[in-house]
Amino acid sequence: MSGFTIRRFVLQNITAVAAHCPSVTVASTAVAVMTGVAAPPTAPASSPASSSSGASSVVSSWVRNMLTGAPDASSLSSTKTGFGLVTAEEMEWIRRRRREGAEESRVVLATRPGRSVLRGVAGGALNSCLGFIVSPLVFLAVALELVRLGNGVSSLLTGPCYGFVWGGIFFACAQYAAAQQVLMCGYYSCVATPLYYCVNRRPLVRADATPMMPAPRARAWIFGALSCRFEVPQGTLHAHHPMLLLYDAPSVLRERAMKRLAHRDKSKSKKEAQYAGKGKANGAGPDDDDYYGLLGLSPDATPRQVKEAYSQKALHLHPDRNPNPDAARQFDRVTKAYRVLSNPQKRRKFDLAGTKGVEDTGVKKREGVRALFGGAELNKLAGDAFLGSFSQRVIDGLDFTAEELAVIRQHMYESCRDELLGTYLAHYDASAAATTDVMGGSVKRAATVAATKSGPWKGDAVALQLRKMLNTGLAKEVLYTIGHEYQRVIACFDMEDSGSASLPSLAMQRAKFYASVSGPHRWHLQRRKVKYLTTVRSHTFKNSEAMVDLAWFTSVQELETTARHVALMILYEPSLSATEATTRRNALAALAESFIMYGQPYKGASKATMDQLMSSLREYQQQRQREKDSE
Kindly state whether residue 447 falls inside one of the protein's structural domains. no
If one counts every other C-beta atom within 10 angstroms of the C-beta of residue 547, the result is 16
Per-residue pLDDT, averaged over 546-561, amounts to: 85
CA distance 117 to 595: 35
Instruction: Indicate if 386 and 301 belong to the same structural domain.
Output: no
Q: In sequence order, which residues have a C-beta less than 8 Å from that of residue 57 and are 6 or more positions away?
A: 38
Same domain, 195 and 333: no
Which tens digit of pLDDT belongs to each residue from 357-385?
776 666 667 777 777 888 878 888 888 77
Give the model's pLDDT for residue 48. Answer: 41
Give the residue from 146, 165, 200 where a domain finishes: 200
Q: Are residues 310 and 176 in the same domain?
A: no
Tell whether 306 and 390 lie within a shared domain: no
Identify the DSSP state of 279: P
**Considering the domain boundaries, does residue 512 fall inside one?**
yes
275-333 residue pLDDT tens: 665 555 444 556 667 788 888 888 888 888 888 888 888 888 777 777 777 778 888 88
Is-cis flag, bond preceding 286, omega within 30? no
C-alpha dihedral, 266 to 272 to 273 to 278, nearest 10°: -160
Say if residue 501 is in the same domain as residue 587.
yes
Q: Does the pTM exceed 0.95?
A: no
Distance in angstroms (rounded) separating the CA atoms of residues 507 and 521: 20
Phi (first) and psi of residue 428, to 5 degrees? -70, 130
Whether 557 and 594 share a structural domain:
yes
Task: Encode pLDDT of 569-627 as tens digits.
Answer: 888 877 777 788 888 999 999 999 989 988 889 888 777 777 777 777 777 767 767 76
Q: Are 605 and 477 members of one domain?
A: yes
Domain match, 408 and 331 both: no
379 and 514, same domain (yes or no): yes
Residue 518 placed within a domain: yes
My answer on whether 166 and 306 are in the same domain is no
**Is 530 part of a structural domain of the chain?**
yes
Is 333 contained in some domain?
Answer: yes
Considering the domain architecture, whether residues 423 and 558 belong to the same structural domain is answered as: yes
Same domain, 473 and 620: yes
Last residue of a domain, one of 158, 183, 200: 200
| 592 found inside a domain | yes
**Most confident region among 105-114, 116-125, 400-409 by mean pLDDT:** 116-125
pLDDT band for position 505 (cuts 50, 70, 90): confident
Amino acid at 230: F
What percentage of the chain reaches a pLDDT higher than 90?
10
Q: Within a domain: residue 138?
A: yes
Question: In the predicted model, is pLDDT for residue 214 greater than 60?
Answer: no
> What is the domain-level CATH number for residue 350?
1.10.287.110
- 457: β partners: 428
Q: Tens digits of per-residue pLDDT, 264-285? A: 777 776 666 666 655 554 445 5
| CA atoms in the 13 A half-sphere facing the CB of 630 | 6
Listed residues 327, 359, 391: the one ending a domain: 359
Q: Quote the number of domains for the chain.
A: 3
Classified as helix, coil or strand, 560 is helix
The amino acid sitting at 509 is: Q
Residues spanned by the domain of 354: 290-359
> 21 in a domain, yes or no?
no
